[in-house]
Amino acid sequence: MIYGVISDIHSNLEALNAVLLQMGSVERILCLGDIVGYGPNPNECVEIIRDKKALCVAGNHDKAVLGEIDMSHFPQDGQEAVIWTLSEMKKKNLDFLKSLPLEIRQDDFIGVHGSLKNQLHEYITSVRESVPTFDIMDKTLCFVGHSHRPFIIQKDIKGDYDADVLKDGQEVDISNIYKAIINSGSVGQPRDGDPRASFCLYDSGKRIVKIKKVDYDIVSVQDKMKKAGLSSDLIEILSTGG
Ligand code: ZN
């Protein structure tokens, strides 16, 4: 089966549409959470994910909008974006967010927003941070989001680790890998220095993961964010990619 793996859309409709166009006809979309928060189109993004019948988990921003987690540790602009998002969202779309699980298991992978140890909050950005998740991973692959940076961390059968940034167009052959944690990057708010929307394709038959980056109309999103009164830092980060 061919999966389109996306994460951290953050209410960025232009980026999501550009990714879906570039993705082409995949058989299933896997969405790793944070559909909302930061950007100007939360309802539209939720409706697309629901209509596409994506396999989807909840992220910390989705849960913050639902009032299910304490967001006092969020930066000020993140908190303001959550409050603005809640004021905009239709009840049926909040109900969809409420229905999302914290983990998805399918084929040879698990999907989660943060980590398997702490699904909503823990970042995996280094080998050290990956160890607790590898320790409880009972599938070959774990797709994660949350850090907004594309990467792969591998663990071999001897227990040695290897970490790599994933670049546009890069392919990873999973067939000889013992276990791997893969981050597809962020659709709607990249933070790896590349402002293009990021996603990956996973062919579970050929066992190939391929990272892709795609340009989208950043200025249109920024204009909508200005009109909505969202913070200038959140607007600026779309141009710089972090
Ligand atoms: Zn996020």
Q: Diameter of the chain by CA atoms?
A: 54
Residues with CB under 5 A from ligand 1 (ion): 8, 34
Ligand 1 centroid – CA 147 distance (Å): 7
Across the strands, what pairs with 109?
Answer: 106, 141
Please report which confidence band the pLDDT of residue 229 belongs to, taking 50, 70 and 90 as the band edges.
very high
Whether residue 179 contacts residue 154, with contact meaning beta carbons closer than 8 Å, is answered with yes
Pairing mode, strands 179-183 and 141-144: parallel
174 C-alpha to ligand 1 centroid (Å): 26
Burial 202-241 (b: 16+ CB within 10 A, else e): bbbeebebbbbbbebebeebbebbeebebbeebbebbeeb
List pLDDT tens digits, range 174-227.
999 999 999 999 999 999 999 999 999 999 999 999 999 999 999 999 999 999
CA of residue 8 to ligand 1 center, whole Å: 5
pTM of the complete model: 0.97
pLDDT score for 73: 87
Task: Compute the distance between CA of residue 152 and CA of residue 35 in angstroms, rounded to an integer.
Answer: 22
Instruction: For residue range 26-54, list pLDDT tens digits in order.
Output: 999 999 999 999 999 999 999 999 999 99
Q: Which two tokens stand for residue 216?
A: 């989208």
In the reported structure, the alpha carbon of residue 129 is separated from the centroid of ligand 1 by a whole-number distance in angstroms of 18
Nearest to 6 by CA among 144, 165, 168, 184: 184
Distance 34 CA to ligand 1 centre (A): 5
Per residue in 125-139, is it b (16+ CB within 10 Å) or e — as a string?
A: eebebbeebbeebee
C-alpha 238/C-alpha 190 separation (Å) is 7
- So what's the pLDDT on residue 181? 98
Residues contacting residue 195 through CB under 8 Å, at least 6 positions apart = 218, 238, 239, 240, 241
- List pLDDT tens digits, range 57-88: 999 999 999 999 998 888 999 999 999 999 99
Q: Do the Cβ atoms of 188 and 15 come closer than 8 Å? A: yes
Percent of all residues in the chain with a pLDDT value above 70, rounded to a whole number: 100
User: What does the pLDDT look like over 104-129, one tens digit per residue?
Assistant: 999 999 999 999 999 999 999 999 99
Tokens of 164: 């790599």
